[in-house]
Structure 1
Amino acid sequence: MLPLLLSLTLSQAVPATPPPTEILQVQSVRPLPGKLDAVPVFNSNSPELVLKEGILLSTFPSAGKKVTSAHLDFPFRGRFDIFAHHVAKADPPENLRSLYLGIILHNPGSQPVTVNILEGASYLSQPDAPFIPLSSFVPNNLGTVFAGPGSRVTSDVLRGRKQDIFPSQIIIPPGESQMLLNLPIPVQGLTPPLNGRSTYMRLRSNGNIYAASLAMFARTNTDGSERSPNLEEWQNLLDQGELSTPRDKVPTPITGNNKPEIYGRVAGVSKGSRWRAYVVDKPTSKYLTIPQPGEAFSYGLSTLHGGMLGTGQIQTAPMLVRYPDTAYYAHGNYGIQYSIKLPLYNNTQNQQTVSIAVQTPIKENELSKSGLRFFVPPARQVFFRGTVRLRYQADGKWQNKFVHLVQKRGETGEPLVLLNLKPGENSLVEVDFLYPPDASPPQVLTVSTQSN
């Protein structure tokens, strides 16, 4: 605590930041058409902070395992995704061993199984993708703009990239296991000794596969240097280990549409990796009629229990299997891709300027006023930090651009694109992004027409 005199001096020298002013954007908020697909996602995010070795998430059968409750018995086949985000911290502070994150795949069948790695990336907070301050709107066509590992991973996967650390495919012989990931989360040399790793991968297998994510400290060589755990050591941890502790906060049960006091973190298999939306006036329409001049409407993004913004729509992925002390839904939809098509149509007699924007309104379940509420200036908490891709027609040519957004709570956001539509003209706009880890839902996609 500061001495009283110094505290008074500072309070006199530094004017207090005035509280943000709330503004209202009068408009409608609509449910987003479409739905999540059925692709299962191995979703490993609990415990987020890993202090002890153990099992993070196992979809293996429980037979033959020491702690049967740690295994959820869910096989993957065909398309599936893997998401993992975990943080390591020196505990106690002088224990600077690297924590390794391992993801193991097992073929339970009698024939070899090929697993193709379609896209994938894995980055550390330090040094790969530190949380640096960025402007709210930065062009990112080259993919070099990011803040945090979640921002960098989703930017890569959005572009269809596969990091060089991953092979194009692995072939797992019958009854055997292989490591898909075996990477450190180092803390030595960091102040504070804290680091995180985010991973997202899209895969396809031609047979049944079980998967598990595990945490193990680096093994020590005879000369005192660190080495990564080997397959046998990972397998032993899977067979003999228990769930990693300490556990995260237990989520509040979800009843009706009430807002949970604690959403909890995810550890299980969620259903759905992509939401495709073709946004038109009504299901039988071909176009989305633009708002009247000076007006706007929005579509919810990643709406959830307690944050439906009056749409009545919950977009968060349901859990197919989960541990009982973890989240009931994949709140936030981390890593899920939104692919939204808006065939805009100008039905007026004049040329109109139309904007498309991502916004982060104040979270509400039912709208308390006739529109969305924002703060000016926005609150200090960052609620969205990731890259959005835009494809649209301008001057008869397709334009393709990427923009990195940083939005704080209550931020109205800048237009992703401004289109000048002639009377009777239509223009297709496509918006794609992967909902970034380290973000807080919900957001909206807003279409507005400037005043004449």
Structure 2
Amino acid sequence: MLPLLLNLTLAQSTPTLPPEEVVQPQIVRPLPGQLDKVPVFNSNSPELVLKEGILLSTFPPDGKKVPTAHLNFPFRGRFDIFAHHIAKAEPPENVRSLYIGIILHNPSSAPVTVNVLQAASYLSQPEAPFIQLPSFTENILGTVFSGPGDRITSDVLRGKRQEIFPAQIVIPPRQSQMLLNLPIPVKGLTPPLNGRSTLIRLRSSGTVYAASLAMFAQTNPDGSERAPTLDEWQNLLNNSDLAGPRDKIPTPLEDTGKPRVYGRVAGVASGSGWRAFLVDNPQARYLTIPQPGQALSYALSTVHGGSLGTSQIQSANMLVRYPDTAYRAHGNYGIQYSLKLPLYNNTQSSQTVSVAIQTPLKEDSLVKPGLRFLNTPSNQVFFRGTVRVRYNDDRGKPQTQFIHLMQKKGQLGEPLTLLNMPAGDRRLVEVDLIYPPDATPPQVLTVTTQAKS
């Protein structure tokens, strides 16, 4: 027994060394382009819902019992809906399901057609549990995911519309219809905690208002649960206040010297996609690869206090919001980045070039000449999502790959693709991703030319 006790004592008395920082001397550029103007209905506050009510309403306040709960923002044409909320049995014996409803209203005197372009909604239990995965996994079939935010963005990136959503709904004049009416069950779960994430891309032929609502399941005479009806949802919309409990109030965007609270989003954000042509300068038509042994990075999903030395804030502006929620859509959850890299080898010899996504340590100004990583990444997962990469391989054949990444804080990341580029070679690489909920910004897209051995 003595050796075992001695080993235990040694293990307990030997502190785990913190991971060491590694500085990679790479240039970081702001991302060219900008967010488009497609409005995004972004319902993420309160994240944990214990009190039923209005999560987000863009309806006019007229005739509503709590006018301040309605932000009066009409949608027309293209718009997106993102929603993520969590239910918990509180107290533990109260295991009624929490229903999330998304209602659309046509205020006009003519029917309005709403086309559902892509859509996905998943529960964390059992449909998309948070599991540990390798940092790099091929995901051609879309079966690799960790968490509902990861799964919805993977589906929508592939252009899918989940079968629970209709291809189209027609809303009669001055009427409303439910776009979503789904439960977050907690019964039988340990702990009794569950979440649902939803991402929908829509196109409307006319003006519509939208609201996301939370209501506990109604009860049938036999004691079983049933979904709320359209009338019950409309009654809640007209007569309820905001759902609760409310999240932490965000700190001002300007640096106050105090701990920064970004807050959670509840409002309409401006921008659903960011297209970028990554070239040497605005007049150029190609991106010169770095010199051998060097790297070049472009910032992704930068936030206040985390611009990686670029001074660029990519977080979407809020067109309307509740006063106690985030000032911007920090993290750009559900926003698609479509990045084109027309690579050019201007050297006199063949070069091996890689393109990767990385998760450096967050900083606003670079305190050292390069990005900081950890030699042993921490246990905190900062990015879990699928990336699509398209390019012509070394034989000239077009390739499309879907790669699932699970990166931890400070992780360098493996190459999405490795290209052997002869002298003078030009090669277009396209990288697409929908920034996944449950990720922590910022990241970078990095082009590296391998050093000659």
Do these two structures clear the TM 0.5 threshold for a shared fold by scoring above it? yes
Q: 1:414 maps to what in 2?
A: 414
Q: 1:161 maps to what in 2?
A: 160
| Residues 124 and 196, structure 1, Cα contact 8 Å, conserved in 2 | yes
Q: 1:423 maps to what in 2?
A: 423
SS of the counterpart of 1:251?
A: coil
Distance 1:62 1:9 in 2: 68
- Structure 1 residue 17: deviation in Å? 2.8
SS of the counterpart of 2:333?
A: coil
- Structure 1 residue 376: deviation in Å? 1.2
Q: 1:178 maps to what in 2?
A: 177
SS of the counterpart of 2:150?
A: helix
Name the aligned partner's letter for residue 197 of structure 1: R
Identity %: 71
Task: Summarize the Cα distance change of 1:287–1:258 in structure 2 as closer, same or farther, 3 Å threshold.
Answer: farther
- Structure 1 residue 156: deviation in Å? 0.1
Task: Summarize the Cα distance change of 1:11–1:120 in structure 2 as closer, same or farther, 3 Å threshold.
Answer: farther
Gaps of 5+ in 1: 1-6
Asked if 1:74 corresponds to 2:73, the answer is yes
- Structure 1 residue 397: deviation in Å? 1.3
Task: Summarize the Cα distance change of 1:384–1:8 in structure 2 as closer, same or farther, 3 Å threshold.
Answer: farther
Q: 2:306 maps to what in 1?
A: 307
Name the aligned partner's letter for residue 12 of structure 1: L
Asked if 1:437 corresponds to 2:429, the answer is no
Distance 2:258 2:86 in 1: 27
Structure 1: 4+ residue segments shifted above 4 A = 7-11, 256-260
- Structure 1 residue 8: deviation in Å? 11
Distance 1:407 1:98 in 2: 33
Could you report, residue by residue, the CA deviation over 1:99-136 in whole angstroms, capped at 9, with x for unpaired residues? 00000000000000000000000000000000011000
- Structure 1 residue 259: deviation in Å? 8.6
Asked if 1:136 corresponds to 2:141, the answer is no
Gaps of 5+ in 2: none
Asked if 1:206 corresponds to 2:205, the answer is yes
- Structure 1 residue 12: deviation in Å? 3.5
Distance 2:208 2:91 in 1: 37
Q: 1:399 maps to what in 2?
A: 399
Distance 2:443 2:353 in 1: 19
- Structure 1 residue 66: deviation in Å? 0.2
Could you report, residue by residue, the CA deviation over 1:333-387 in whole angstroms, capped at 9, with x for unpaired residues? 0000000000000000110000000000000000000000000100111000000
Q: 1:189 maps to what in 2?
A: 188
Query: Cα RMSD over matched residues?
Result: 1.4
Q: 2:389 maps to what in 1?
A: 390
Name the aligned partner's letter for residue 317 of structure 2: P
- Structure 1 residue 16: deviation in Å? 3.9
Distance 2:390 2:161 in 1: 22
- Structure 1 residue 254: deviation in Å? 1.3
SS of the counterpart of 1:156?
A: helix
- Structure 1 residue 27: deviation in Å? 1.5
Could you report, residue by residue, the CA deviation over 1:366-422 in whole angstroms, capped at 9, with x for unpaired residues? 000000000010011100000000000111111000000000000000011000100
- Structure 1 residue 18: deviation in Å? 2.0
Name the aligned partner's letter for residue 284 of structure 2: S
SS of the counterpart of 1:80?
A: strand
Name the aligned partner's letter for residue 46 of structure 2: P
| Residues 260 and 305, structure 1, Cα contact 8 Å, conserved in 2 | no
- Structure 1 residue 245: deviation in Å? 1.2
| Residues 254 and 260, structure 1, Cα contact 8 Å, conserved in 2 | no
Distance 1:253 1:315 in 2: 17
Aligned residues: 446
Distance 1:391 1:260 in 2: 41
Distance 1:377 1:406 in 2: 15
SS of the counterpart of 1:35?
A: coil
Q: 2:109 maps to what in 1?
A: 110
Could you report, residue by residue, the CA deviation over 1:307-334 in whole angstroms, capped at 9, with x for unpaired residues? 0000010001000000000000000000
| Residues 251 and 260, structure 1, Cα contact 8 Å, conserved in 2 | no
Q: 1:61 maps to what in 2?
A: 60
| Residues 258 and 306, structure 1, Cα contact 8 Å, conserved in 2 | no
Distance 2:207 2:8 in 1: 64
SS of the counterpart of 1:157?
A: helix
Distance 1:174 1:193 in 2: 41
Asked if 1:338 corresponds to 2:337, the answer is yes
| Residues 257 and 305, structure 1, Cα contact 8 Å, conserved in 2 | no
